[in-house]
Amino acid sequence: MKTLSLKLDDDIFNETEEVTGMLKIARNRYINEALKVFNEYQKRKLLKHKLLQESKVAYGNSLDILEEFERILDAD
C-alpha cells in the first residue's frame, strides 16, 4: 500500500467527514473506494471515446465498400 499526501478543498473534506461518520468507515477506506469508482468511470469514458473514433473510421470504410459493390453491380 502506498502512502499519499493530498490537499482537499475544505467543502469536500467536510462533506467527506460527514459521510464517513454516517457510514462508520475510515476516511482512507472511503477515499480508496471513491477513487476506484472514479477510475472505472474514467476508463469507460475513454473507451467510449475510442469506440466513437473507431466507429467513424469504420463508417467511412463501409461507405467506400458499398460504393465499390454498386459500381460492380452496375457494370453487369
Query: Pick the residue with more confidence: 76 or 71?
Result: 71
Is residue 76 over pLDDT 70?
A: no
**Cell (9 digits) for 26:** 475510515
- Whether residue 31 contacts residue 16, with contact meaning beta carbons closer than 8 Å, is answered with yes
Boundaries of every domain in the chain: 10-75
In degrees, rounded to 5, the angle at the alpha carbon of residue 21 between the alpha carbons of residues 14 and 32 is 80
- 15-29 pLDDT, tens digit each: 999 999 999 999 999
- Kindly report the pTM of this predicted structure: 0.68
Continuous H helices in the chain? 10-23, 27-75
Please state, in angstroms and rounded to a whole number, the distance separating the CA atoms of residues 54 and 59.
Answer: 8
DSSP at 24: T
Residue 42 has pLDDT above 80, yes or no: yes
